[in-house]
Structure 1
Amino acid sequence: MAHVEIGQKIKEVFDSRQIKLTDFADELGTVRQNVYRIFRKRHLDTGLLLKISQVLHHNFFQYYVETPKGQGDNENVTQLKHEASDYRNQLELSKKEVDYLRKIIKLMEEKSELIQQMEGKVSF
């Protein structure tokens, strides 16, 4: 397997995306100085690499995997598109669930306020 300078690859993709360094750092939940450190890294934690892949919309894990014989780039692209579609669907479902839960919370808060108002009016 070829040696991968992952920080350098991340820097190349970052430069091609024309994103402000501050915005990139914010999306990663870190500061600019840490982004510069990432660009110099030879190895990264997979969780961080996943986050960077998501923010830059680039699969950095591909540099660690050898393509099996007989499997071309078109198959990889098709598979990635399928996975991206699945993730989009999961995201949409999650958004709907969050909206639903927010509505439930709002209703519960309104009910709580009504109960408190009723208790305030009823005195023995």
Structure 2
Amino acid sequence: MFWEELIKVIWFNFDGPWSPQAYLFTNDFYENLMQNWHVRPPPWSGNKQYQDDETNELMMTPSDMTLKEYPEFLKYTKIYAKDQDAWFRDFAPAYTKLLELGITYPEDQKPMVFKTLDEQAN
């Protein structure tokens, strides 16, 4: 319930998932973003958002669409859409830095690294 409420606060007046697998951490967002989209038509009365042309079930926000509209972002969007491992490699240190803001660790402490499901299976 907490996550559903948090998402409603963050994305107030948007509706729909970015991916059919909304609770899995994958590169689906980037793969889906590279597909064709249209502005959600009336009777939708919320904020401007986009629907996928194929199913009309997925959504993207205008800020999501900037990742494919501007060449500076499109370069990375294409990489991440094609290479999930590249997305994970780039995301992990950025997310770690965000989580560790304001925390001082002993110099001799090694960072904790979590294995992916694929790595755990091997």
TM band (smaller chain): under 0.3
**Larger strand proportion, structure 1 or 2?**
2
TM-score (norm 1): 0.27
- The one of the two structures with greater contact order (alpha-carbon pairs below 8 A, sep at least 6) is 1
User: TM-score under structure 2 normalisation?
Assistant: 0.27
| Higher helix fraction (1 or 2) | 1
